[in-house]
Structure formats: C-alpha cells, structure tokens
Structure 1
Amino acid sequence: MIEGMRMDLKKSRYMNFDELYLYCYFVAGTVGLMSVPVMGISPESKATIESVYNAALALGIANQLTNILRDVGEDARRGRIYLPQDELAQAGLSDQDVFDGKVTDKWRNFMKSQIKRAKMFFGKAEKGVTELNQASRWPVWAALLLYRQILDEIEANDYDNFTKRAYVSKTKKLVALPIAFGRSLVSPSSRKLPILGKA
C-alpha cells in the first residue's frame, strides 16, 4: 500500500491496464486483502481461503477503478490521468481530450467499456462476501452496493465525469441498506444469490 502511495508521487500516466491494475492492487487491493482477517471467514464456509481473498482483492480493485472513473475531471485538473493510455488511443482519444473535458460519442463508448470492467470486478467480489462472518457481511454488502451505484450515477450523468461528480443520494443509500442487510442473512451453505447489475 505504501508503494502505491509512492507511485502517486512519481507517476501520472498508465500505459495499459496491467500498469493500472498494479496501481489499484497497491492502493486498494491490499486494503481488501488486509480486511479479510479482520472481517473473518464464516465457520460454515466451504469456499477455499484463496477464493475469499481473491474476492476481497476484486472488491478493492473495483472500488479503486470506480474512484478513478468518478474523479476523471478532478484528476485532469491536477494534470493526472489514471486511464489506460492504449485504450484511450484505441477509442480515438488523447490526453488533450481528457483535459478539454468534452463528452463526445467517443468518450461515452470509452467510458462504457471502463464501467463494464469495473462492474465485472464487483461481480467477482460478490462471490466472496457471503463467505464472511455474519457480523461482517452487512457492512461489506452495503459498501459494495453503494460503491457500485457510483458507476450507475456516471451513466445517469451521460458519462460527464469532467464537470459532474457522481454520487449516490441519501435516498438511494437508505434503499440500499435493507437490500444489503437481506443479502447479509444468506449463509454460505445456502448461497444461491443472483448477481445483480444494479442495486
């Protein structure tokens, strides 16, 4: 995690997703991994320890990717771009397009692919939450559902993450909490939970 903080001091571009993934792993994936012993794994869980840790890692990556997509405009004003350079180029976009901050069809298409990948990591993370100790499941489910909704808000803002900061309203937060609580009641032994695209 400390190495990830150091990266922020010396690196402001990421050539591809492999580089970005490593950054996300350092600054957020490690938090997910360190949280597993604190949260605890349910005695009823039949999952491998590796799979639970992989899910925790995926949640950290998903959260950090969400931060990056939410904060594109804010980061650009600081001269930083946390988006894969090769994927920007493939979409017909450049650093200057990010700095100019104009929502175009190219930008929308690019953002759709970035959001899809972040949601894929949230999907991987879901598989591990049910394996945690029951007391830990509700806050983790709540965090997962609420953070994933930030991606929905970016979509609702027509992919304008240059001038609009995507956030989840208090009403939506209140709606998500009982959903998270309901999911937290599902024990590992009875888990047959559909992965939802939106909470």
Structure 2
Amino acid sequence: MDGTSGEDYADRLVQLSDARWKRLLNVQTPYRWHLRRHRLGRTLDVGCGIGRNLAWLPDGSVGVDHNEASVRVARGRGLAAFTVAEWRRADQAVAGSFDSLLLAHVVEHMTIGEARALLEEHLPAVRLGGRVLVICPQERGFASDPTHVEWFDDGKIANLLAQSGLQVRRASSFPLPRRAGRVFRYNEFVVEAVKH
C-alpha cells in the first residue's frame, strides 16, 4: 500500500476525478446509481480516498483511509472521514453500529493477507445481518494503475469474504458484462456478502 499513502497519490485522485471531460459527461452517474441501488444504509467506507463514493452514501456514513492527504480532501468536501489512527479512537467506531462496510477499489492495492486483515479489523463495526460490498477493477482497470498489487476477480473476492466468516450473496459485473473488462477500464467486479 506504500504507493497509495503519499500526498502525490491524493493529488492524482483529485486530478482524475476532476477531469473536465468527466464532469461534462457526468460519467460517475451510473456508478452512483449502482451504489445507491445496493441500499447499503449507514456505511463504513474503508479506503474512502478523497470521498468519491462517500459523498453518495446515506447520512451517518463514515470514511476511513490511510492516506492523510486524501482524508483532508474528503473533509474539505464536508465528509466525515478519518485516518486509520483517528478511527481507532473515534466515537463512531462502535461495534455493530454500521449497516454496511464498503471496500471499493481498495483490496487490489494490497496482498490477499493484507486485505483479509483490513476486512477483519473493520468488520466488527458492522451489525449482524449487515452487508459487505467489495468492488475491484477488471483486467483493463487493474493494468491501468501501477499501485495495484494483487489481482482479485469475483471468485477470489468471494473466497476472501467467506474466509472472514461472511456469507456471499451475489457477484456481478458492472456496468458492462464480464467480457468487457478486458478492454473497458471502468468495468468492475462487485461482490456482496452478509455478516451472520
């Protein structure tokens, strides 16, 4: 995760999300719709970055990220975001107080062992019956970022979730069918599980 911890990485996220063509075409609309469609409720957004998803989650949702510069950007946008150290002592870090945990474009930046440790550290904050949603890029998206460390397809994500004691409910490809992931940079694996 070292490639994602510096101010340069936060600056890169801002530049990518604020690209003029993306704003003009409003390319985030389908992704926002997709996230809302999951009806996650109060969500703990782990690896929230600059708050791209956090901004569209229900009230009371909170973001956590290891990149201090990204957290500053998210806060500057009026979002509730914490560094990892701040989260560990935050009043909001209460067991069972969140409806869902979101890991969107996070686990591919680490090894499977690191991903499991990250998931298990934050899972206690999710209530029984709550959900975990993991989103990862497909082939073209994975290859587009030099900070990506380990490839996670839907099967590997499902295995990660199951090893953490979660019941996998569904796996899908978004926004296009799975075969598009080899050429379309923004196609994603989406895997949802339930804490029981």
Higher RCO, Cα 8 Å, sep 6+: 1
- TM-score (normalizing by structure 1): 0.28
Larger radius of gyration: 1
Q: Which has the higher helix share?
A: 1
- TM-score (normalizing by structure 2): 0.28
